[in-house]
Structure 1
Amino acid sequence: MFDRKLDGITRNLLLFVLIVPILAILALEGFSDGNLKEVITWIRSYPAEFFLNYILMFGIINIFYVLPKRAYLVTSTIFLSLFSCLGFISHQKLKVKGEPLLPTDFLLAKEAFGISGHFQNVFIFIGIFIIITIALITLIFKHIFKQRKQRYRTVVFVCSFLVVFAFYSYLAPIQNTFALQLISYSQSLNYDQNGTMLGFLMDSEYLKVSEPDNYQEDGINKIVQNNSTPSYPVDADLKPNIILVMSEAFWDPTLMKDVSFNQDPIPFFHSLQKSQSSGIMLSPVYGGGTANTEFEALTGFSTQFLLNGAIAYDQYINRPIEALPAILGQQGYATSAIHTYDNWFYGRQKVYQELGFDKFISKEFLNSPQYYGQYISDTELTNQILNQVKKTSEPDFIYAVSMEGHGPYSTTENPQNVIKATDSELSSQSQAILDNYANTINDVDKSLQQLIDGLKNINEPTLVIFYGDHLPMLGDNYSVYKEAGFIEQDGNSYQDYLNLHSVPFVTWNNFSTTVKHDLKLSANFMGTYALQTAQKSGSPITDLLSNLMQKGNEVIISKDHWNAANIPENTFSDYELLQYDLLFGKEYSYNLEPDHKPSQNVNYIQGDALPVISSVLSSENSLIIQGSSFVENDKVYLNGKEVNTTYSSPDMLRIDLPKRIENIEIQVKLTDSMNKVISKSNIYKN
């Protein structure tokens, strides 16, 4: 008798305590991936991540195990249905916008409901599913609950509560213990590896941005009024091209005093330093986190006011921002972003629209690009910049991001290396890393010269600001820097912080008569400096920054080093408050200056131009699609199905002649490596 009771209790625990969370995970991941086979592959590939997702789901569902049997049954069913629904929503959002459901979606009603039109019928299905599931489970298992004892309810409840509490309060230690990685450069990959629940929870840690105690409309109005004009003169008639080139991991290795080279790795960069304004840019990151440097330069916001480890593009850009492209677009500029890597990296494909760019030309749109090592050469980036300047009648604002200098740098010496470190006591591995890096940036330096020479030939008034996003990661744990005596052994001192975050930058322009300046700016001041040099009006945030620059406060660093840098605590208090208002708050700033409130650029496109089909001709065994703006990666879709496509030219594509050619529909689409359509033509019907 006792054994039978124990077996009944065991069955209860297995069925409703252990199995229901597994079913919920399978439902969530299955709907999210759109394929149950992918879920099985994930479980096999990332067992630790699956285990943590299961434990978390166990806690969430079974915290209600203490309820009466029918209430627990209904609650479990609702959770099962809810997670199915969330998985489906995430899958639809991934198809529509290229990223899954994120914590920020729940902060914005427009984001949450903006995708609902793609799956309205699912809510009817979920409702019916809940009702049917409750009825079936009640009928099948109604006798199982009879033997459940209160003490088991209590034990399960306490365990579940502790699980939820642990994940909420100690997520960082859990991440460290299990070596979890938040993949901030791609939320799709983040969820693929960590699972939907865990990836979502790790993202949500960065939503804890507290409202400042003194955040009030009157205070914001006062800040805006006190900084209503920039500290520099504005010339509405002067409209030079403004080109910002952020070169991946570009740095000057000759700054390491204990190392010399057999020849200058970056001779052209050094020649510009002698004749043009240049200086040091304090990067917010070291060795990675490119998007945060880009965020600061384009928006004027500082990541020093954000949570440590946050990637602003990923967590915080979810509404239109009056960034440089929006500012200059309002003044008649054509605004273009160019990056020689995947469009989805760091979510740039969506962020650039929020920042006000007209177009985004990424790796997918380049025809047979030249490579240097494993990345596209900066020569290709230079060619794209020059093409944009040549083809537009308006002044250009171009933000170009390179990839050639990206690490890692091999620990084996490349036999083709011409430039080598000499007179050093580096280990053989460190010597190889440094030599490989020096030869890479030597090629980058040649591309910079190609850019300046090309702009001289075009002969339009132009400003170029060239800088690296961060120092290169030369070896593990700063090994090359330590061996070269560039930093101390711990790397934690104020001087080490400056050494590891100081990136040289240089400018070039052919219109200004001002004298050469030696500057020191943090990345968040770079955009304001560009506006000042070009004498263009800015925004509330850039006007405030220009006044800070006039007072000599043009560098903001980690608050850990403010005392060492003699930065008074309230130096940037107005700046931090205004940034909160514009990035997270109610945008009180625009009540005084409504013309500055940005709207989403509905004309934003990916690629240089949208492909257009003008005609379709039959020739022997093929159909010839004629039009414009075709690229090599374009594919033709015949009646909705992809067909084998041959690229002939920007004006012509070819496909095999179908057996039937009546009533056909043809469209050209470009799909990225995440299988997301990022460009498509008109639909041509015969």
Structure 2
Amino acid sequence: MNVLFKTTSLISNNYRKKFTSSLLDFFFIIVFFTLAIAEIKNPAPLPNYLYSLLHYLWLASPLPLAYIFLRLVKLPSFVSAYVVFLLLKLLEYISGIKLSLTGEVLSWNDLFSQSNITIAKHYLTAWPVLLLFLAISLCVILCFISRTFYTTKKNTIVLAISFITILPFSFYTHFSSLFGEDSIFSRKMILLAKEMNVTYKSWNWPENLQDNGMAMHVVMTSSRKSAPLASKNNKDTYNLEKRAGSKELPKHKTVIYVLCESCWYDNANFKEIITPILNEGFVTFRATSPVYGGGTANVEFEMLTGFASNSRVLSGIIYQEYATQFKSHTDSIASALGDKGFITYAAHNYLKEFWHRDTVYKKFGFERFDGLYEMSTISLPDQIVAGRKKWQWQPDDYLLYKSAIEHLKKADGKNIFMNLITMSTHGPYPHENDSGEYIYTFELKQAVDRFVDFYKEVKEIDPNAIVVVYGDHKPALNKFFMNKNVLPSNLFSKTGENDNDFVFKWDIKPTDYGDVPVFVAAGNDKNLEKLAQEANNQPYFCVSSLIDKYLINSGLTSFRYNVKNRCFDTSHSYEEKINAMPSWVYSMALFEGDEK
């Protein structure tokens, strides 16, 4: 009797375990569908309830798919659910921080680009680290609890079938690259997605996040927008225009672009700090940056290539998304001037790998690119070392300018184009009983002093040198800007005491936050005033095109196209300007053909 009783009890207990494990899986899958659907902020117009149900299930699919995947690799139900939930909340947190400080939302490459970690670590505080420790501890506890459950073979089969069923819906944006755009499978899925109003808005990631939820947004951004193609007629037209540009003669022998990290002022804020630059004879005007608080690479992309970084043709951080896709000899101002006999030099007093500049600059036609490692032989003067503050983690711009002057002297009067990316004013800007303006003021003053010293040396070498200094974006001084009405409170959906507390509304545009300064000197060139008038308040791809028109004459095809199509026309909206360039011009300049 005892044996029979024990056997019966064991069978009953096993049945209960099997039932509980299956029920848990069903419950958690429903929970993750619900959580993902709750993330979708913008309702889609659909003909009936069935379409709406399928639409939301499709968009929600990556979250339950992640749970099922973890279950299939033998993680217990509770642990799998906990890990997926934790990852979702972590993604939301990181995206919120990025949105607060840059106006941009999280993307796939943000998570897997190693160089981003070198900057991100400076924004970490003790709280996230402590919470991560507690989260791991709880995961260990759940592992012990989960030992009372196990998964049956039947349940594993059901999970596997569910995984195979959901997978195509979660990763449909990858089908064209995996199977080809003309494959039946790709075309069917794309048509079905259109019918269900499932759309990847690669040209507007904040809106894409609102429409599709965090999980689907991250998956979608892992599929970069494909490089455009050009027809034979397009290629002939482009090559004809390129040959015409190659015959133009440069106007100055020294051209220096200086991207001044987070450098900003207006008539009411920080102007006295900028005054030394104006005293050196620079003309100044405003430009419209495509980014806020970060995304520097997209600004320099616009300046170097003459293409909009936020058009419908390309997506994301361009260097990060397309570094491997760019052809070996990309058409940029560096390559155009290089073809005219210019020495082409780039320098950045930070890691060369950041934003994949080490790959991109080579393709853009820079003969040499110096990073922090190449500047390691330069010693900071004792006065600078003594004046550094505990919160100054950024390498001093002295290193950048010292390196640039050395190479300018080595050029020995030959034509040279230099592209310099500063670092001293990079965020974050901790609050010192204020809204971050004390530290920003200190760093901006140092940056201006370093630049003015550099410019004085440049003038001694070539008094007629073209020197363009441009702020890539506003610093992420959210609270300060709101208090000063630089960024009105109605641009934010959420505000708070710290800069990280602020969240931009999803539909704001570069014209709302992108106002930044540009300074240009070119000796006694009479075209400076005309340039300032036409370039004022224009997008950076237009600013660079007009600088080329009036001062440089590189003959770069995209610059010529922008000028011919009057990118500076004030009657055209910002949206019209960024989408005016045909996709085939992008294709020919950046992706197709590799003849030099």
Range into which the TM-score falls when normalised by the shorter chain: 0.5 to 0.7
Partner Cα distance (1:543, 1:556) in 2 = 20
Q: 8 Å contact 2:72–2:160 — kept in the other structure?
A: no
Q: 8 Å contact 1:247–1:469 — kept in the other structure?
A: yes
Is the counterpart of residue 579 in structure 1 residue 571 in structure 2?
no
Shift, 1:497, TM fit: 4.3
Structure 1 residues 548 and 554 mapped into 2: Cα distance closer, same or farther (>3 Å)? farther
Aligned counterpart for 1:405 among listed residues 415, 418, 425: 425
One-letter identity of the residue aligned with 2:249: D
One-letter identity of the residue aligned with 1:240: K
For 1:481, the equivalent position in structure 2 comes to 481
Is the counterpart of residue 218 in structure 1 residue 226 in structure 2?
no
The SS at the match of 1:437 is: helix
Structure 1 residues 156 and 554 mapped into 2: Cα distance closer, same or farther (>3 Å)? same
Is the counterpart of residue 522 in structure 1 residue 549 in structure 2?
no
Shift, 1:55, TM fit: 4.3
For 1:360, the equivalent position in structure 2 comes to 369
Cα deviation, 1:390-423, whole Å, max 9, x if unaligned, reads: 11132111100011011111211xxxxxxxxxxx
Partner Cα distance (1:533, 1:255) in 2 = 30
Aligned counterpart for 1:390 among listed residues 401, 409, 425: 409
Give the structure-1-normalised TM-score: 0.51
The SS at the match of 2:529 is: coil
Shift, 1:363, TM fit: 0.8
Cα deviation, 1:559-608, whole Å, max 9, x if unaligned, reads: 3xx5xxxx6xxx84443441144435xx3xx6xxxxxx555xxxxxxxxx
The SS at the match of 1:375 is: coil
For 1:108, the equivalent position in structure 2 comes to none
For 2:337, the equivalent position in structure 1 comes to 328
1:305-320 equivalences under 5 Å are 305-306=311-312, 310-318=316-324, 319-320=327-328
Q: 8 Å contact 1:293–1:469 — kept in the other structure?
A: yes
Partner Cα distance (2:337, 2:542) in 1 = 16
Shift, 1:61, TM fit: 8.3
For 1:439, the equivalent position in structure 2 comes to 442
Aligned counterpart for 2:310 among listed residues 304, 309, 322: 304
Partner Cα distance (2:442, 2:64) in 1 = 44
Partner Cα distance (2:71, 2:589) in 1 = 37
Aligned counterpart for 1:452 among listed residues 450, 455, 471: 455
For 2:48, the equivalent position in structure 1 comes to none
One-letter identity of the residue aligned with 2:556: S
The SS at the match of 1:513 is: coil
For 2:301, the equivalent position in structure 1 comes to 295
One-letter identity of the residue aligned with 1:447: R
For 2:279, the equivalent position in structure 1 comes to 271
Structure 1 residues 217 and 572 mapped into 2: Cα distance closer, same or farther (>3 Å)? farther
Is the counterpart of residue 544 in structure 1 residue 561 in structure 2?
yes
Shift, 1:52, TM fit: 9.7
The SS at the match of 2:369 is: strand
Partner Cα distance (1:202, 1:461) in 2 = 49
Length, aligned pairs only: 407
Partner Cα distance (1:461, 1:229) in 2 = 26
For 1:235, the equivalent position in structure 2 comes to 249
One-letter identity of the residue aligned with 1:287: G
Partner Cα distance (1:554, 1:400) in 2 = 33
1:334-373 equivalences under 5 Å are 334-366=343-375, 367=377, 368-369=379-380, 372=388, 373=392
Shift, 1:58, TM fit: 4.9
For 1:244, the equivalent position in structure 2 comes to 257
Q: 8 Å contact 1:242–1:530 — kept in the other structure?
A: no
Q: 8 Å contact 1:282–1:555 — kept in the other structure?
A: no
Partner Cα distance (2:373, 2:219) in 1 = 28
Shift, 1:279, TM fit: 1.2
Aligned counterpart for 2:473 among listed residues 461, 466, 470: 470
1:140-219 equivalences under 5 Å are 152=155, 154-161=157-164, 164-165=167-168, 167-168=170-171, 205-209=221-225, 216-219=231-234
Shift, 1:166, TM fit: 6.4
Aligned counterpart for 1:512 among listed residues 509, 513, 525: 525
The SS at the match of 1:278 is: strand
Partner Cα distance (2:460, 2:305) in 1 = 31
Larger relative CO (CA 8 A, sep 6+): 1 or 2?
2
Give the structure-2-normalised TM-score: 0.58
- Give unmatched runs, 5+ long, in structure 2: 1-6, 26-62, 75-108, 114-151, 175-213, 493-504
1:417-436 equivalences under 5 Å are 428-430=433-435, 433-436=436-439
Structure 1 residues 485 and 555 mapped into 2: Cα distance closer, same or farther (>3 Å)? same
Partner Cα distance (2:323, 2:173) in 1 = 26
Shift, 1:169, TM fit: 6.4
Structure 1 residues 4 and 306 mapped into 2: Cα distance closer, same or farther (>3 Å)? farther
One-letter identity of the residue aligned with 1:536: N
The SS at the match of 1:466 is: strand
Higher helix fraction: Structure 1 or Structure 2? 2
Cα deviation, 1:135-187, whole Å, max 9, x if unaligned, reads: xxxxxxxxxxxxx97x546512333135535643699xxxxxxxxxxxxxxxx
RMSD: 4.5
1:70-85 equivalences under 5 Å are none
The higher radius of gyration belongs to 1
Aligned counterpart for 1:286 among listed residues 287, 292, 296: 292
For 2:86, the equivalent position in structure 1 comes to none
Cα deviation, 1:615-641, whole Å, max 9, x if unaligned, reads: xxxxxxxxxxxxxxxxxxxxxxxxxxx
One-letter identity of the residue aligned with 1:343: K
Structure 1 residues 340 and 52 mapped into 2: Cα distance closer, same or farther (>3 Å)? farther
Structure 1 residues 497 and 304 mapped into 2: Cα distance closer, same or farther (>3 Å)? closer
For 2:549, the equivalent position in structure 1 comes to 532
